[in-house]
Structure 1
Amino acid sequence: MGNILNYLDWRGDLTFEQSPFNEVDNLILACFSYLDLDEMAEVKNGNTLSVEELFAAFSRREMKKDLKAESAFLQNTPVLLEKMACSERFRKCTVGGFVNEILFSQAQQFAAVTIGLDDGTTYISFRGTDDTIVGWKEDFNLSNGVVPSHRKALEYLETHGTYIQSMLRIGGHSKGGNLAMYTAMQCSDILQEKLLSVYDNDGPGFPGGFFSPGRVESVLPKVTRIIPEASVIGMLLSHQKDPRIVASTQKGILQHDAFTWEVMGPSFIEKESLTRRAAASDRSLHKWIDHMDEKQREHLIGELFSVLEATGADTISQIQEGGLKSLAAMVRQLDKLEPQSKAMVQELITGLFGSWLELLPLPELDKKRFLP
Structure 2
Amino acid sequence: MGNIMDYISWRGDLSFEQSQFNEVDNLILACFSYVNLDGIPAVTKQKGIGLKKLTEEFMKLHTMKELEADKSFIRLAPFMMMEMAKSVRFGKCVVRNYVNDIVTEAEQQFAAMEIVLEDGTSYVSFRGTDDTIIGWKEDFNLSTGVVPAQKRAIEYLQKISEHTDGMLRVGGHSKGGNLAIYGSVMCKSAHEKILEIYSNDGPGFSREFQELPEMKEMMPKIIRIIPEYSIIGTLLEHEKEPVIVASSSKGLLQHDGFSWEVQGPALVRRDSLNKTALRFIEILHKWIDGMDTEQKRLLIEDLFATLQASGYENLSEVQSGGLKSLAAMVKRVEKFAPESRGMMQELLTAICGGWLEQLQADTKDKLSVLPLSFSDKILEKF
Residue identity in the other structure for 1:291: G
Distance (Å, rounded) in 1 between the aligned partners of 2:182 and 2:331: 38
Q: Say whether the 8 Å CA contact 1:307–1:334 is kept in structure 2.
A: yes
Count the aligned residue pairs.
370
What's the counterpart of residue 54 of structure 2? Answer: 54
SS at match of 1:209: helix
The CA deviation at 1:322 is: 1.1
| Residues 244 and 270 in structure 2, CA contact (< 8 A), matched pair in contact too | yes
Q: Which moved more, 1:283-292 or 1:60-69?
A: 60-69
365 and 83 in structure 1: CA distance in 2 versus 1, 3 angstrom threshold: closer
The whole-number CA distance in structure 1 between the counterparts of 2:252 and 2:337 is 26
Q: Is 277-286 or 218-227 further displaced after alignment?
A: 277-286
What CA distance in whole angstroms lies between the structure 1 residues aligned with 2:40 and 2:353?
Answer: 42
The answer for unaligned runs of 5 or more in structure 2 is 375-382
Q: Which residue of 2 aligns with 1:127?
A: 127
TM superposition shift of 1:233: 0.2
Match of 2:82 in 1: 82
Q: Kindly indicate whether the alpha-carbon contact (under 8 Å) linking 1:227 and 1:246 is maintained by their aligned counterparts in 2.
A: yes
Q: Which residue of 2 aligns with 1:203?
A: 202
Higher mean C-alpha deviation, range 59-68 or range 18-27 = 59-68
For the 8 Å contact 2:210–2:237, the answer to whether it is kept is: no
Distance (Å, rounded) in 2 between the aligned partners of 1:132 and 1:244: 25
Maintained 8 Å contact 2:51/2:92: yes
How many percent of aligned residue pairs carry the same amino acid? 51
SS of 1:302's equivalent in the other structure is helix
* Equivalent-residue separation in structure 1 for 2:63 and 2:120 (angstroms): 30
> Residue 322 of structure 1 corresponds to which residue in structure 2?
321
Q: How far does residue 70 in structure 1 lie from its aligned partner after superposition?
A: 2.9
Kindly state the Cα deviation for residue 68 of structure 1 after the two structures are TM-superposed: 3.6
2:163 is the counterpart of 1:163: yes
**Pair 165,365 (structure 1): closer, same or farther in 2 beyond 3 Å:** closer
Deviates further, 11-20 or 48-57: 48-57
Q: Which ranges in structure 1 are unaligned for 5 or more consecutive residues?
A: none
Given the two structures, how large is their TM-score scaled by the length of structure 2?
0.93
Relative distance call for 1:28 and 1:125 in structure 2 (3 A) is same
Separation of aligned partners in 1, 2:284 and 2:9: 39
Contact persistence 1:284–1:351 (CA under 8 A): yes
**SS state at 1:204 partner:** coil
Structure 1 partner of 2:270: 271
Q: Secondary structure at the match of 1:210?
A: helix
Shift of 1:314: 0.8
Structure 1 residue 240: deviation in Å?
2.2
4+ long deviations beyond 6 Å: none
Alpha-carbon distance change, 364 to 180 in structure 1, aligned in 2, over 3 angstroms = closer
> 1:253 is matched by which residue type in structure 2?
L
2:35 aligns with 35
Deviation larger for 318-327 or 84-93: 318-327
Flag the 1:340–1:117 CA change in 2: closer, same or farther, 3 A. Answer: same
What do the CA deviations read for 1:146-184 (whole angstroms, capped 9, x no partner)?
111011111100012211111111000000000001011
3-state DSSP class of the match of 2:207?
coil
1:332, CA displacement in angstroms?
A: 1.0
Alpha-carbon RMSD: 1.7
Alpha-carbon distance in 2 for matches of 1:336, 1:70: 34
Which TM-score applies when normalising by structure 1?
A: 0.96
SS in 1 for 2:112: strand
Query: d(CA) in 1 for partners of 2:163 and 2:2?
Result: 37
